[in-house]
Amino acid sequence: MKLIPLGMTLSAALALGGCMSDSSSVGATRTQTGDEAAASQVAVKMIAFNDFHGNLEAPGTLAIPDPKDPSKTVKVTAGGVDYLAAWVKQLRAQSPNTVVVSAGDLIGASPLVSGLFHDEPTIEAMNLLGLDINAVGNHEFDDGQDELLRMQNGGCKAGGGDTTCQNGGSFAGAKFKFLAANVQKQDGGTLFPAYEIKKYGNIPVAFIGMTLKGTPDIVSPTGIQGLSFKDEADTVNALVPKLKAQGVAAVVVVVHEGGYQSGNYNECKGISGPIVDIVKKLDKAVGLVVTGHTHQAYNCQIDGRTVTSAKNYGQLFTEINFKLSPATRTFVPGSIQAVNRPVTQDIAPLASISSLVQFYLTKAAPIANKPVGTLAGALTRTASAAGESTLGDVLADSQLDAGRAQGAVAAFMNPGGIRADLAPAADGSISYKQIYTVQPFGNTMMTMTLTGAQIDRLLEQQWSNPSQPKILQVSSGFSYSWSQSAPAGSKVDINSITINGVKIDPAASYTVQVNNFIAGGGDGFTVLTEGGNRVGGGVDVDVLQSYLAKHANLPVPALNRIVQLP
């Protein structure tokens, strides 16, 4: 099946940059009859993206193959929800059977233009784009399950003041469906429907949507109380018999979990990660899996299924074409084709969405453009071999500064909460929009007391998942060393942990400052739930703003607080 080019510039780049996957269906329940005419097969077009994170504006450039020399790449501005919508509109015009899906993290950790208004702008933009399905991701739970339900059902945010229901004085909620097959409530039901069945040529196709089972480890526990997150493959496999009883033989899984590969955005070099095991465990009725979470791009064949992911922030989308057989009511063998395409801006943006984005940009401008401080140089998330970054150091320092009134002597910042680098303008200035983009979650500060032994356990929990360590950023005056070769649980020598040059006493108590996310055990730092004398503080972005106001031309810190040993 030949894919129709989207435009001369784009199609030329894609022709040089990648390959289409062509998979045989593993979901057929019986062999096609020999006299079944190809003309009777039903063609379906699917457009998929993931990890949009409220990026209504183009987040930056994307490397694509150079049309003049395929061995090289060129950078182009890619993204912008109005351009994404324009490509969707063009593709939708090619097929009467088109479905648009998102594999989670549609909202959450969003830039100011969406985050300031509680992500209502992103939902409104996706309504105009024509999104059909969003499988919930972990970031959909950033503000808790009640707020997520509001995203679906509409209504103004309680206590939102002048940052909610700005578009016409109301918020209607999502016209598309949130799906959450593996997010179970205490009564045994699911928070959102487990699947959506769509019919094409009277042939039903089930779309099962869900998030990763590890969501409780990376979201605030208070926001998911009463919910349990089940195994992804087990959830799908339990649903398949129910779907078959409804006459469904073709199943698509849209899951917010993914993998990693080393090739370009249309390759699948060395694919690894949780998605590999998940796909291998899936019932053979599943012929197609759309993934996310890892912010990677790939176009794979795993266990005979097509498995895709389209990076993040709306810079890529996946065009997937397949055919359904009227005889078998499932995928025609060999018909599933997928290709990741960049959201280039060599197309007229969708005017209705451009106007919507501009409306919110104008609303946010007085806050967004306000200067909040000056830097002597760029602060980045780029970590040293020990796991320390200049931006992480400054954030921890700002939080320590805010906690000193409660007696804090150290502060710890989770690296996953740092969402962007901080680069000053030519005059050294930075804006509120920039610091909001760095810390978009609105986490509040919390001081607590920990013993020296608990601090040691906290540091060891950085390797609770040895394959993906989370190195806490630490404030000035706190230092320690860790061993790369030592096993998890024994990487930090407690005798190396010092506060202002003094070794910690395992039995003594120390007041520390953290954000409410990890204070509740987020990111696996469960020892923080044991902290005593807990006192709440300010919002993280406000704390940083206050710190910058106190330190004009803030220098870039030296990376010498955390030491890695062999």
- What whole-number distance in Å separates Cα of residue 250 and Cα of residue 329? 7
Contact by Cβ (8 Å): 182, 104: no
Mean pLDDT of 508-514: 98
pLDDT tens for 40-49 read 999 999 999 9
pLDDT band at 65, cuts 50/70/90? confident
- What whole-number distance in Å separates Cα of residue 294 and Cα of residue 51? 9
Does residue 27 carry a pLDDT above 60? Answer: no
Give strand pairing partners of 211: 256
SS3 call for 229? strand
The burial of 207, by beta-carbon neighbours within 10 Å (0-12 exposed, 13-18 middle, 19 or more buried), is given as buried
Least confident of 288-292, 457-461, 516-520: 516-520
Which residue has 């005419």 as its token pair?
37
Contact by Cβ (8 Å): 515, 414: yes
Q: In what order do the strands lie in the sheet with 286-290?
A: 195-200, 203-211, 250-256, 286-290, 305-310, 297-302
SS3 call for 501? coil
Q: What is the pLDDT at residue 67? A: 81
Mean pLDDT of 315-336: 97
pLDDT tens for 432-449 read 999 999 999 889 899 999
pLDDT tens for 236-256 read 999 999 999 999 999 999 999
Mean pLDDT of 60-74: 88
Mean pLDDT of 24-29: 41
Contact by Cβ (8 Å): 180, 209: yes
Does residue 527 carry a pLDDT above 60? Answer: yes
Does residue 8 carry a pLDDT above 60? Answer: no
Average pLDDT along the chain: 92
Q: What is the pLDDT at residue 34? A: 52
Does residue 1 carry a pLDDT above 50? Answer: no
- What whole-number distance in Å separates Cα of residue 103 and Cα of residue 495? 45
pLDDT tens for 125-156 read 999 999 999 999 999 999 999 999 999 999 99
pLDDT band at 12, cuts 50/70/90? very low
Q: What is the pTM for the complete model shown?
A: 0.85
Mean pLDDT of 98-122: 96
